[in-house]
C-alpha cells in the first residue's frame, strides 16, 4: 500500500507528461476494486519506463499486472517490435487490464505466476523483468529472473522495503514473517550474486534494480 505521495513525488509528477487516457483507465479500474492505493505512482512508473528503455529491451516480463498501469509504462519503453508478457492471477484484474491496454505487443497471461513462468522460458532470454506480485513468492520469481534474463538485461523489483519491515519497523501494513523473510533473502541474493550488479533506489516503497553482467 502506498501512502499519500510525498512532496518529492508531487514535484516530479508536476514535470512529467500527463498520463494518457488508457493509463487513467487502468487507474480507475484499480480504484473500482478498492486497490487504487497499490497502483504504481507516475513518478515510479516513469522510473521503471526509464530503466526498461535504457536496457534497449525488446522482450519483457511483468509479474503482477493488476489493472495494467505499470504494463503501459513498460510498453512505452519497448521497441516497436517488442513484446511484453504480463502475468496476473486474478481474472477480474486481468480483464480490467485487457480493457485498458490497447497494444498488440502486450500479452496478458492469467494464472499462477510460478506455473506460467515455466511455460514462458522458451520465449527468453528476456531483456527486462519487472517483479511486483505476491511478496511471499518474490525469491522464487527472482531466481527465475536471474536464470532467464539476458546478459545486459535488467531485473526490477518493487516494494522491497515492505514499508520498513525488512529492517524491523512496524507499520499499518501487516506483512507476515514469511513475506519479510523472503524479501530479505531476495535482497541479499541480489547483492551477493556475482553475475549481477545491484542497487536499491530509496523510493517510498524501495525499488531493487539488478543488471546481469555475465
pLDDT tier for residue 4 given thresholds of 50, 70 and 90: low
At residue 21, the 3 state secondary structure works out as helix
Q: pLDDT at residue 3 above 60?
A: no
- Residue-wise pLDDT for 9-42, tens only, equals 999 999 999 999 999 999 999 999 999 989 999 9
> Cβ neighbours of residue 118 under 8 Å, at least 6 residues apart?
none
Handedness of CA 5, 206, 97, 33 (dihedral sign): negative
- Residue 110, SS3? strand
Domains in the chain, CATH or no CATH each: 7-212 (3.40.50.150)
Kind and range of the H or E run holding 139 = helix 138-148
List beta partners, residue 130. Answer: 62, 156
Nine-digit cell at 212? 546481469
| Model pLDDT for residues 49-71, shown as the tens digit of each residue | 999 999 999 999 999 999 999 99
**pLDDT tens column, 164-199:** 999 999 776 789 999 999 999 999 999 999 999 999
CA distance 198 to 102: 33
CA dist., res. 78 & res. 52, Å (int): 7
- At residue 1 the predicted structure's pLDDT band, cuts being 50, 70 and 90, is very low
Quick check: 47 pLDDT over 90? yes
pTM of the model: 0.96
Tell me what the pLDDT averaged over the chain comes to.
96
pLDDT above 90 covers a percentage of the chain that reads 93
Tens digits of per-residue pLDDT, 75-92? 999 999 999 999 999 999
8 A C-beta contact, residue 89 and residue 67 = no
At residue 26, the pLDDT reads 98
Is the pLDDT confidence value at 73 over 90?
Answer: yes
pLDDT of residue 62: 99
Give the pLDDT score at 120: 98
pLDDT at 2: 54
Q: What is the pLDDT of residue 174?
A: 82
Confidence class for position 142, pLDDT limits 50, 70, 90 = very high
Amino acid at each position: 500500500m502506498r501512502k499519500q505521495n510525498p512532496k518529492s513525488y508531487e514535484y516530479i509528477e508536476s514535470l512529467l507528461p500527463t498520463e494518457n487516457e488508457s493509463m487513467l483507465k487502468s487507474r480507475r479500474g484499480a480504484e473500482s476494486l478498492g486497490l487504487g492505493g497499490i497502483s504504481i505512482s507516475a513518478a515510479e512508473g516513469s522510473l521503471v519506463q526509464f530503466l526498461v528503455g535504457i536496457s534497449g529491451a525488446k522482450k519483457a516480463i511483468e509479474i503482477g499486472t493488476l489493472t495494467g498501469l505499470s504494463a503501459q509504462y513498460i510498453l512505452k519503453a519497448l521497441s516497436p517490435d517488442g513484446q511484453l508478457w504480463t502475468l496476473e492471477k486474478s481474472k477480474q484484474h486481468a480483464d480490467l487490464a485487457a480493457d485498458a491496454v490497447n497494444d498488440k505487443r502486450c500479452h496478458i497471461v492469467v494464472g499462477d505466476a510460478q506455473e506460467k513462468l515455466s511455460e514462458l522460458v522458451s520465449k527468453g532470454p528476456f531483456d527486462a523483468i519487472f517483479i511486483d506480485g505476491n511478496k511471499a513468492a518474490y525469491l522464487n520469481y527472482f531466481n527465475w529472473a536471474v536464470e532467464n534474463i539476458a546478459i545486459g538485461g535488467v531485473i526490477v523489483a518493487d516494494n522491497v522495503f515492505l514499508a520498513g519491515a525488512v529492517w524491523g519497523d512496524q507499520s499499518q501494513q501487516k506483512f507476515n514473517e514469511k513475506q519479510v523473510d523472503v524479501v530479505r533473502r531476495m535482497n541479499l541474493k541480489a547483492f551477493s550474486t556475482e553475475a549481477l550488479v545491484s542497487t536499491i533506489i530509496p523510493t517510498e516503497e524501495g525499488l531493487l534494480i539488478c543488471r546481469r553482467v555475465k
